[in-house]
Structure 1
C-alpha cells in the first residue's frame, strides 16, 4: 500500500521544476520571437505545476483512513499515528493550494508588466515564493518520508478470509508454527521480540484458503504498559482472529 508513496527531496523537485520550466519556455519559437513576458509566464506556470504535482503524488497515494478495514486502520495508527499523518499531509495540501494561487497571481502580474525586465523580475520573485512555501513544509516532508519507511512493509491482510492468529509469549516458536502450517519463511528478529511486526501467510484446507497471522510476543503486563509492537498483536487478536492459537 505505502511502497508506492514517493519520497520527496525539496532540492530535487525545485531543480526539476525550474529546469523543466526553462526548457518549456525556450522550446517555443513563438516565445523566442515575441515577448519575454510570454516566456516568463510559461516558466511560472510549468514550475508551479511541477512542484504542485510532486507534492500531490504523495498526498494522492495515501488511502482514505476512515474507509480502511478496522485492523489496517488501527495498525497504521499504532505504527505511524493517523493524526500525525493527517496533519503532515494537510500541510502538503495547503502548500499545493498556495503554490497554485501564487502561480495564478504571477501569471497575471507578468502579463501586465510594462517591460521585459519587469517580467523577468516578477518571475524570479515568484520562484522565491515557491521556494519559501516548500521551506515552510520541509519538516512535514521529512516526517512523511520517515513514516513512509515505517509503513512500506505493512502486511497485506484480507479481512474476509478465515484467519488464524498465532499469539503468545516471546521466543515460544510462533514463527516456526507459521512456517510449518504454511511453508513460508517469516522474518525473525532478535530478543526481546522475536517478531517485530505482523507476519502473514496462508494455506489451503478442503479447497478453502486459510490466512495465518503470526504476531509479536506478548509479555504478562498491564495494557497501559504495552509498547507499539505488542499493540499490533492485540489488534490482530481483536479484529482478525476466527481462531486463536496461544502458545506458552
Structure 2
C-alpha cells in the first residue's frame, strides 16, 4: 500500500512564528488578516489534496487492471490540480508578499539600530561621521513601498 506523507507547509511562515517587529512591519505593508486568510486557504487546499490522495489510493487497491489504475491515477491528479488551480489568487498574493519581504533590508531586532533618513544633501553622512558611529552604513536606494500603496498616502513625494 502506498502511503503519502504530506508535510506541514513550512515554506511560508505563519503569522505567529514571525518576530513581533517583522509582524508589525508586515501588518503595515500588507494586511495581516489577508495574509492569515491566504495561509488558511492554502492549508485547506493541502488537506483536500491529502484527502483526494487517500481516497484514490483506497480505490486503486481494488483496481482490476493496470489500465483502470492508470485511469484512477489520472483522475486523482486532475482533481488535485483543480484544487490547486482554485488557489491561484492566494498563491500569487503570498508570492508577492514573499518577494517584497525578501527585498527588505535585514534588521536584527535584538540589537540597537539607528535609522537616519532625510532628503539628499542635507548632511546625513556628515552627522554620522561627526557622531562617530560605526562606519558600516547601509544605504538603501531601492523603493521598498508595496506596489498597491499610493506614494502620497505612504508619505513619499511625487517624482
Alignment partner of 1:227 out of 142, 154, 158: 154
Q: Distance in 2 between matches of 1:228 and 1:71?
A: 21
In the alignment, structure 1 segments of 5+ residues that lack a partner are 1-40, 190-195, 198-224, 231-248
Q: Which residue of 1 aligns with 2:140?
A: 187
Report the alpha carbon displacement of residue 69 of structure 1 after superposing the two structures with TM.
4.0
Runs of 4+ in 1 over 6 A off after TM superposition: none
TM-score, with structure 2 as normaliser: 0.71
Change (3 A) 1:160 1:124: closer
Q: Secondary structure at the match of 2:23?
A: helix
Q: Which has the higher contact order (CA 8 A, sep 6+)?
A: 2
Q: Distance in 2 between matches of 1:64 and 1:131?
A: 24
TM-score, with structure 1 as normaliser: 0.49
Report the alpha carbon displacement of residue 149 of structure 1 after superposing the two structures with TM.
0.9
- Aligned CA RMSD, in angstroms, stands at 3.1
Q: Which is higher, the Rg of structure 1 or of structure 2?
A: 1
Please give the residue correspondences for 1:50-61 in structure 2 after superposition, counting only pairs within 5 Å: 56=8, 59-61=9-11
Cα shift readout 1:68-123 (whole Å, capped 9, x = no counterpart): 44332111112232222212121211111111111110011111123333222211
Report the alpha carbon displacement of residue 228 of structure 1 after superposing the two structures with TM.
7.2
Cα shift readout 1:148-196 (whole Å, capped 9, x = no counterpart): 11000333333333343435x533444x35864332241235xxxxxx4
Cα shift readout 1:15-64 (whole Å, capped 9, x = no counterpart): xxxxxxxxxxxxxxxxxxxxxxxxxx75xx66xx6xx55xx5xx413334
Q: Distance in 1 between matches of 2:16 and 2:126?
A: 34
In the alignment, structure 2 segments of 5+ residues that lack a partner are 145-151
Q: Which residue of 1 aligns with 2:53?
A: 103
Q: Which residue of 2 aligns with 1:131?
A: 81
Report the alpha carbon displacement of residue 67 of structure 1 after superposing the two structures with TM.
5.0
Q: Which residue of 2 aligns with 1:20?
A: none
